[in-house]
Amino acid sequence: MKTKPFIALDWGTTSFRAYQVNGTGEVTDQVSAAEGILAVNDGRFEETLESHIGSWDKALPLIASGMITSRQGWVECAYAECPAGVADLAQAITAKTTASGRAVHFITGLHFNSQSIVHDVLRGEETQVFGSMSTGAEHFITPGTHSKWISIAHDGITGFSTYMTGESFSLFRNHSILGRLMQDGSQDEKAFAEGVERAFAAPADLLHLLFSVRSLGLFNAIGPEKLASYLSGLLIGSEVASASMGHDHGAKYMVLGTPALAANYLNALKLAGLKAVAGDPLCAIKGQQMIAHEAGII
């Protein structure tokens, strides 16, 4: 796709990423920092932005997506409703001109009237999925603190489910009795797979299975440096078992995430006998380009 050049801003809860993008979608410069929206005090979003990209051309339109459009972000944008296509997101863009003269265009997130929990929400993942829609995948997984499983049909997002997998891992690892027996170690694929398989075998028993991180550690059935991998397998296995339930077994999955975490998900999906591939790490930029182009901004 050919468009005008722009600045892509992917500003989430814990990280800031900005890219200069030329008219053919190539990244010509980029900056990233640990200054997610939770690290920005007193609403100083513009100052934070300029501290990172102050030298970049102020005439370039800036396209933003992610938690930056949430209540804790810069400009709160009302959720768009599922099903939603590129045109819906384009129409829902909120524009703002900064004191330094930059035009910032905010892409809002989605609300899904879910059967299971009534209200489900996301911000940022919709843009990643639109940027990945031409790949032939039918279901997208964005692993992380709160993983999302997003389904598409007819070039639109039809629904999604959130899983608190990453946050749960961090809680049990750092704040529970399970962490006490653990020693740091690199990812252990065998222990991870054992956790995944145990979760698949008893998908309704997570609160029970979690205790096995302690009991198998106590009896040294899993070594202290492997227990974190086993815990990760239990949680990711539980998520995969739940989220893939009811899907066509031949469905095509794509994982959109950082390489290490995506690899864990691809392993778990493989153990479930599902077809999955890794997506493009820069799909958010492509999604922003599509939506902003549809809106006539670039």
246 touches its own copies by CB under 8 A = no
Omega of the bond prior to 224 within 30 degrees of 0, cis?
no
- Distance between the two ends of the chain, CA-based, in angstroms? 11
Pick the stretch among 40-48, 171-179, 268-276, 283-291 that binds its own copies (CB under 8 A). 171-179
Residue 227 CA to residue 213 CA, distance in Å, equals 6
Q: Which of 90, 129, 152, 241 binds its own copies (CB under 8 A)?
A: 241
- Return the number of the residue (31 or 181) whose C-beta is nearest its own copies: 181
- Give the x-and-dash track for 134-153 against its own copies (CB under 8 A): ------------x-------
CB 80 within 8 A of CB 110: yes
Burial of 195 (0-12, 13-18, 19+ CB in 10 A): buried
Q: Which of 15, 30, 94, 176 binds its own copies (CB under 8 A)?
A: 176
167 touches its own copies by CB under 8 A = yes
- Return the number of the residue (24 or 215) whose C-beta is nearest its own copies: 215
172 touches its own copies by CB under 8 A = yes
154 touches its own copies by CB under 8 A = no
Pick the stretch among 16-24, 29-37, 195-203, 225-233 that binds its own copies (CB under 8 A). 195-203
Compute CA 200 distance to the chain's CA centroid, rounded to the nearest angstrom. Answer: 23
27 touches its own copies by CB under 8 A = no
Least CB distance from residue 169 to its own copies, whole Å?
A: 10
CB 206 within 8 A of CB 199: yes
Q: What are phi and psi of 288, to 5 degrees?
A: -60, -40
**b/e map 101-129, b = 16+ CB within 10 Å:** ebbbbbbbbbbbeeeeeeebebbbbbbbb
249 touches its own copies by CB under 8 A = no
Q: Which of 28, 99, 154, 175 binds its own copies (CB under 8 A)?
A: 175
CA distances from 98 to 52, 75, 105, 106, 291 (A): 15, 12, 11, 13, 21
User: Could you give the angle at which helices 189-201 and 259-271 cross, rounded to 10 degrees?
Assistant: 50
Listing DSSP states for 6-34 in one string gives: EEEEEE-SS-EEEEEE-TTS-EEEEEEES
- Return the number of the residue (71 or 154) whose C-beta is nearest its own copies: 71
245 touches its own copies by CB under 8 A = yes
15 touches its own copies by CB under 8 A = no
Encoded tokens for 197: 């398989």
Q: Which of 55, 97, 116, 186 binds its own copies (CB under 8 A)?
A: 116
168 touches its own copies by CB under 8 A = yes
Number of residues that bind its own copies (CB under 8 A): 44
108 touches its own copies by CB under 8 A = no
Residue 20 CA to residue 213 CA, distance in Å, equals 45
119 touches its own copies by CB under 8 A = yes
Tell me which residues touch its own copies (CB under 8 A): 116-121, 146, 161-165, 167-168, 171-172, 175-177, 198, 201-212, 215-216, 218-219, 221, 235, 238-239, 241-243, 245
